[in-house]
Homo-oligomer: A and B are copies of this chain.
């Protein structure tokens, strides 16, 4: 059985292998939350993203989603699933469901941020969408990144408000 720390490291490695750095996600969180929390720094954003990535359910969602993207790239799933994974049909819905499992852990306020990122596609999310045109499959990854960034921003919103530490 891997320890909690090993799973965090594995999750970061899987993300890195797909071209995602912690800093890219933290930038999304920073841009979402900085207007409401002016004293917030990029370091705060990075710390918050790392906290999100240390949660087991978040790790499980990321590992599962990246596996599905890679399996589709390698044409492993049978039809009719394969086509659905390859085309990132907005009605597929399972990618949003995995993302939602991340967002929900920090309360329902993350939903707004997630929906906004998923529609506007700023920064690294836009990069992931461009890669799709070059044969990469990021059906799950783009939603997962939006979810992690939204969750990390929500976590800072919770902490800022009368010193609640979103713990235990």
Please give the number of chain A residues whose Cβ is less than 8 angstroms from any Cβ of chain B in the complex: 64
User: Which A70-111 residues have C-beta < 8 A from chain B?
Assistant: 71, 76-81, 83-84, 89-94, 96-98, 100-101, 104-105, 107-109, 111
- Let me know if B80 and A76 touch, CB within 8 A: no
- Let me know if A68 and B64 touch, CB within 8 A: yes
In the complex formed, the residue of B with least CB distance to A84 is B60
Task: From B81, B83, B105, give the contact of A64 (CB < 8 A).
Answer: B81
In the complex formed, the residue of B with least CB distance to A63 is B81
- Let me know if A111 and B105 touch, CB within 8 A: no
In the complex, whether A51 has a CB less than 8 A from a CB of chain B is yes
Task: From B2, B109, B111, give the contact of A80 (CB < 8 A).
Answer: B2
Task: From B3, B63, B101, give the contact of A162 (CB < 8 A).
Answer: B3
Shortest beta-carbon contacts, A-B, top 7: A115-B115, A96-B108, A51-B168, A167-B167, A116-B119, A63-B81, A112-B118
- Let me know if B109 and A55 touch, CB within 8 A: no
A130–chain B nearest beta-carbon distance, Å? 19
Contacts of A114 in B (CB 8 A): 111-112, 115
In the complex, whether A43 has a CB less than 8 A from a CB of chain B is no
